Chain A
C-alpha cells in the first residue's frame, strides 16, 4: 500500500483506539474528579466487562446480535454493582483517604484479576461482533487527468469498527448531558466542589460516591464490551488500557472531562498511527515521555486548572 492510504488506515485504527480510550479515561477521570480517588483497579473493571460480555454471549444462542446486546446492557450493570460494593466495603471504611485508597485499589486490582483467573481461566475468549460487514474504502489521487478515485487493495474497515466510534461518541455526549443538564449531575458537581457543604444541603455524599464509583466502572465495562469483538477477553487485558488512561488523564488534567477527551484523541490516535508505522512499544515510550514533559512543564495538565 502507498503511504497515503496506509496513513489513512492507521488513522482509522487510531480513531477506534481513541474512542475506547476516551471512555476508559473519562470513567477514571470522574472518579478522581468527584471522589479524589485514584482508582488503580480501573483496568480490572474494563477486563471484567470484557469477560462478562464473553460469558453472557456464550450463554445466549441465536444471532450474535442478541448476545451482544444483552452484554452491552448487563455487563456494565454487573461491573457497576461490583464497584459500588467495593466502594461500600473498602473505600468508605478508609474514609476515602487519598493515599490509602491507592493501596486499597491496588489490592482490589489483584483480587479481581485472580478471581477472574480462578473462575474463567487463562484462555483468551472471543466474542462475535453483532454485525461485521467489510467496507472497502476509496482513495483520491491527483493524477494526470485530475482528481481520480480508486480502491487501493487492503484499504478497508468494518461496519462494526465504525459503530464503535459512533457508540463511544453517543456515550460521551450522554455523560456530558448527565453532568451538565440533570439534577443528578448538579448533585455530583456540588459534591465535587465542596463535600461538607453538600452534606449541609442534605446530599448523601456517601451514596453519591458509591454511585460515581459504580458509574466510572460501568463506563470502563462498556468500553470493554465494545472492544471485545475486536480484541479477545483475557484476565490480563486491563493493564495497557489502565496505563493509557492514566497518561490521558494526566495530560488532559485530572478531573477535567473535556481535557480528558481531547487527550484521549491525541494519545489514542498517535498510539494507533505510531504502532502501525513503527512499533507499539515506541508508541508507549513516546506517550510516557509526553507525560513526563507535561508533569514538568504543566503539572495541572493541558486543560486542568492549577489547584491553589
Chain B
C-alpha cells in the first residue's frame, strides 16, 4: 500500500534520513521504532509531503506521492496525527473535526461514526481545542484524522504522556481500524504497546532503517527492541 524507496531527507544542509526503505501493507499495523532523534517524525513528514526528498521516492498504491503537492496527499486516503497533536488550537472541537471531514466532502454520517468512537468529544463540541486535557486533545487529533476516512493512518507517538486508561482506549481504536482494513504506520516507544498490536516493526537508527522484523520474531527477543531504543 505504501512504499518508501531509498529516501534521503535533509533539513537545510543537515541530512537526517539516509537511504531509508520500508513499506506498509494494506490492513497491517507497521511500527517505526528508534531512539529520540533517529528520524521517525522526519519520515512521517516526508510521507505527508511536508519535507522535500533529496532523492528516492514514495509510492502509495499507483501514485507517486513524492511528485504531488502536500495538500494533494490527504486526498490519496492518507491521514496524519503528528507528534504533539497539531490541533487547530483556537478552533473548537467541532471545527477541528469539520476540517477533517472536508477532505471527503463533509459526510454527517462519518462525523457521527467518529464521535461515537470518542464520546467524550461529543460532550465538548463547542470547546476550544487548546482548553482540552491532554487525553482529550489526543482523542480529537485521532477523531480529526479519522474524519478523513483514511486508508492509511500515520500516528506519531499517540500515547505520549497519557494515562493507562486512555492509552488502552487509543490502542483499542487502532486495532479496530486495522480490523476495518485501515493500514496504520505507528511511531511508538512503549514496548508493551508495540508487542501487543503491531504486525511488523521497522527499526530506525541514526536516520537509517537497518532492519524490518515480523512481530513474531520479536516476542521472544525483547532485548533487540531495547537495544534499538537504547534502554538496557
Contacts and interface: CB of A to CB of B under 8 A. Distances in A.
A and B from one complex: yes
A189 B82 contact: no
Contact of A193 (B49, B73, B88): B88
B91 A201 contact: no
A197 B90 contact: no
Interface stretch (A66-74, A80-88, A202-210): A202-210
Contacts of A190: 88, 91, 99
Interface in B47-79: 48-50, 69-75, 79
Nearest to B49: A199
Contacts of A201: 74, 99-100, 102-103, 144, 148
B88 A194 contact: yes
A183 interface: yes
A204 B70 CA distance: 8
Given A183-B102, A202-B103, A197 B88 contact: yes
B99 A205 contact: no
Nearest to B82: A197
A141 interface: no
Interface in A165-216: 183, 186-187, 189-190, 193-194, 196-205
Contacts of B210: none
B99 A199 contact: no
A303 to B, nearest CB: 14
> Chain A interface mostly helix, strand, loop or mixed?
helix
Given A199-B50, A199-B70, A205-B71, A186 B89 contact: no
B50 A186 contact: no
A200 B50 contact: yes
Interface in B69-123: 69-75, 79-80, 82, 86-91, 95, 98-100, 102-103
Nearest to B98: A186
A200 B91 contact: no
A199 B91 contact: no
A198 B70 CA distance: 10
B148 A193 contact: no
A200 B45 CA distance: 9
Contacts of A183: 102
B74 A200 contact: yes
Nearest to B50: A196
Contacts of A203: 71, 99
A131 B202 CA distance: 74
Contacts of B102: 183, 187, 201-202
B48 A200 contact: yes
A205 B45 CA distance: 16
A193 B100 contact: no
A202 B75 contact: yes
B82 A204 contact: no
A200 B103 CA distance: 10
A76 B71 CA distance: 29
Contacts of A199: 48-50, 70-71
A235 B102 CA distance: 44
A193 B89 contact: yes
A194 B86 contact: yes
A73 B139 CA distance: 46
Contacts of B73: 200
A187 B99 CA distance: 8
Interface of B: 45, 48-50, 69-75, 79-80, 82, 86-91, 95, 98-100, 102-103, 144, 148
- Give the 8 A-B residue pairs with the shortest CB-CB distance, closest first: A199-B70, A202-B74, A197-B86, A202-B103, A193-B88, A200-B80, A204-B71, A199-B71
Interface of A: 183, 186-187, 189-190, 193-194, 196-205
26 contacts: A186-B91, A186-B95, A186-B98, A187-B102, A189-B90, A190-B88, A193-B88, A193-B89, A194-B87, A196-B70, A197-B86, A197-B88, A198-B99, A199-B70, A199-B71, A200-B80, A200-B82, A201-B74, A201-B102, A202-B71, A202-B74, A202-B75, A202-B103, A203-B99, A205-B70, A205-B71
